[in-house]
A and B are shown apart, each in its own frame.
Chain A
């Protein structure tokens, strides 16, 4: 791999890390805020937007959207999709740890399969990220 390709790959990994961090923090904050909204219905959803946790979550997710756009400018969609799937595993872990959600063995297994599938597909480097095609 040439020096310029290594730099591109490093840049992709750095943006990827920022994206996953923003997405995980956003999802956690959003879920935390939404679970503390008192009643269901359209008015409660509008009120929820002004909840500090929901607001922080929206901000973090908006940042994640921009990070993902940057990522898509450097790599193919079929590459970005699997490598960002690690976020699903992080979300399950955060849901279990901070929101005390019950996660069954089957759900853990499913999450592990998503992670494995992402890793298998992610190992197939695409033409834009500097690796060889399959």
Chain B
């Protein structure tokens, strides 16, 4: 059961981040000031990809909620880091980001860490 929850969290997180990154790249630099955050909220309401990203985030959130209910936080949070590897690959394939050997090695180390944490 815990791995089904981890898988759901990871898949939903990856899709959400991909959609967010795509839209935010197009939107340009945003601000964390109150006015900037309000403008960001209005932008979220207008763009369907960001709304879909929020929906995926909600799925990820409730899966995570169920996960922390049955597992330790120190397992749940690092285990959800599996999304890191999937997202790095998708950033290369879908968003056409430059990912060199060092960045790929870092992603591999994170994956090893996740396996150790879950073992």
List the B side residues contacting A18 at CB < 8 Å: 32
Report how far A27 CA is from B78 CA in the complex, Å: 12
List the B side residues contacting A107 at CB < 8 Å: 74-75, 78, 116-117
**0/1 interface trace, chain A 114-134, chain B, CB 8 Å (1 if under):** 111111111110110000011
Please state if A119 and B106 are interface contacts (CB–CB under 8 Å). yes
Report how far A27 CA is from B73 CA in the complex, Å: 8
Please state if A117 and B32 are interface contacts (CB–CB under 8 Å). no
Please state if A92 and B109 are interface contacts (CB–CB under 8 Å). no
Report how far A117 CA is from B82 CA in the complex, Å: 12
Partner of B32, one of A70, A92, A94, A123: A70
Please state if A113 and B36 are interface contacts (CB–CB under 8 Å). no
Please state if A134 and B78 are interface contacts (CB–CB under 8 Å). no
Please state if A121 and B107 are interface contacts (CB–CB under 8 Å). yes
Count residues on chain A whose CB falls below 8 Å from chain B CBs.
64
Count residues on chain B whose CB falls below 8 Å from chain A CBs.
59
Report how far A112 CA is from B109 CA in the complex, Å: 10
**A66 is an interface residue with CB less than 8 A from chain B:** yes
List the A side residues contacting B28 at CB < 8 Å: 73
Chain B proximity of A79: nearest CB distance (Å): 8
Report how far A124 CA is from B62 CA in the complex, Å: 33
Please state if B30 and A114 are interface contacts (CB–CB under 8 Å). no
Please state if A120 and B17 are interface contacts (CB–CB under 8 Å). no
Chain B proximity of A93: nearest CB distance (Å): 9
